[in-house]
Structure 1
């Protein structure tokens, strides 16, 4: 998410913006250079290309832009918590389990 916010910052150079957007799009895209269903090799491109791309973006971006991007990413990634919603979800799962047990038993 930090890379995404770096790409959207007006202080980021154009080349770095394009690189950051490319890295973020590749990370979120279901399409890979080497498909993931190919054993071992399918994940190697993700393990090599993404960290190298992120490292390049960080090296080419001014430090104040990186700090601003990290701050925005932290703000967005904090999720609200609700204990009542958790209780409802657990109750639904328990009801499903009981229903399955009833129909199978």
Structure 2
């Protein structure tokens, strides 16, 4: 098994899915500090968005968001949360994943955020192009 298969294989995707569910629980928990909630909300907006910032059909870069952005955002949200609280949320997410086939909701707000980022980048590129002449 190659390192790439280990990072993108079924076991890795399942582990990431469980952690995203745990992040959802962390976001909704009343004892979660606001910095962790803010980061968790942004990560979930992107993770549950039906649109990727970098489309998957673009070679190498298409998988970059799943391999880097999501795990780094998740790690930051977890680092900002109290460790016992994260452990409780993670245990609940694992239990739910084993008891039923949970599906993550698709957030339209995440899609709107991604589209707005692309529009901003397009406007910046257009402004740079016009400013050159």
Q: TM-score, normalised by structure 2?
A: 0.55
Q: CA deviation at 1:13?
A: 1.0
* Deviation sequence 1:56-94 (CA, Å, 0-9, x none): 0111110121111012102211236xxxxxxxxxxxxxx
Instruction: Answer yes or no: is 1:8 the counterpart of 2:1.
Output: no
d(CA) in 1 for partners of 2:57 and 2:50?
12
Query: TM-score, normalising length from structure 1?
Result: 0.68
TM-align CA RMSD: 1.4
Choose 1 or 2 for highest CA Rg. 1
Q: What is the alpha-carbon distance in structure 2 between the residues aligned to residue 44 and residue 71 of structure 1?
A: 28
Query: How many residues of Structure 1 are paired with residues of Structure 2 in the alignment?
Result: 80
Q: What stretches of structure 1 of length at least 5 have no aligned partner?
A: 81-105
- Deviation of 1:30 after TM superposition, in Å, equals 2.0
Which consecutive residues of structure 2, in runs of 5 or more, have no partner in the other structure? 1-20, 101-133
